[in-house]
Chains A and B, each alone.
Chain A
């Protein structure tokens, strides 16, 4: 995972995040992104599928086989190793920012007292 890819654009991040818990079809990805962001980030169909198209091209996600009994019109998508590594890279980056911001906050509290 190249650090030049980070930070991931929000649409890319939420699609990879949604697929981290298993393969999903487009609408399930959209719902998962909405829930994960506490309704703060809305993915519309055009943003969703332009991003899916880019992610398929870059090999971060791949088309998966549809589960038995599912709607045949739906296509399912799954995270690849590269996609997972990109997601982990961004999560680590966020984690370190949160840690750092917590540390800074502690320092500012100490300075105030």
Chain B
């Protein structure tokens, strides 16, 4: 069943311990709920079950990964660079000599260049050498 396969893909994003202990049950419960909802409420019922599963990814799986520094730092870098690009675009809407969609394309390309590359470098740096990450200063107590 295709729904089971897709949900298995979702499962791979959940914490390993949860998957190991309850992965099979989660899939079974999802499929039962999907079938019941489709029987009782049709496509709208099935869509509701899928939508809830996507929301759960956001609420349950993402926080687990987002707490990892390897993910956190690149996201912050990416967001800061996008913010910078947005400020630049608002401040300088007119690009001399540019017409049509060119400024937009330039902005997108610039955003990707200035945000994705530093994010990727940070990710690799953190991944390769976790020891080089500044450790928060621990203040001793007398």
Contact = CB atoms under 8 A, between A and B. Distances in A.
B53 interface: yes
B28 interface: yes
Interface residues of A, number: 16
Contacts of B60: 46-47, 50
Contacts of A42: 52
B56 A49 contact: no
Interface string B30-67: 10110000000000000000001101110111000000
Interface of A: 26-27, 30, 42, 44-50, 52-53, 73-75
21 contacts: A26-B25, A26-B28, A27-B28, A27-B32, A27-B33, A30-B29, A30-B33, A44-B53, A44-B56, A45-B26, A45-B29, A46-B26, A47-B56, A48-B26, A49-B18, A49-B29, A50-B18, A52-B22, A53-B18, A73-B25, A73-B28
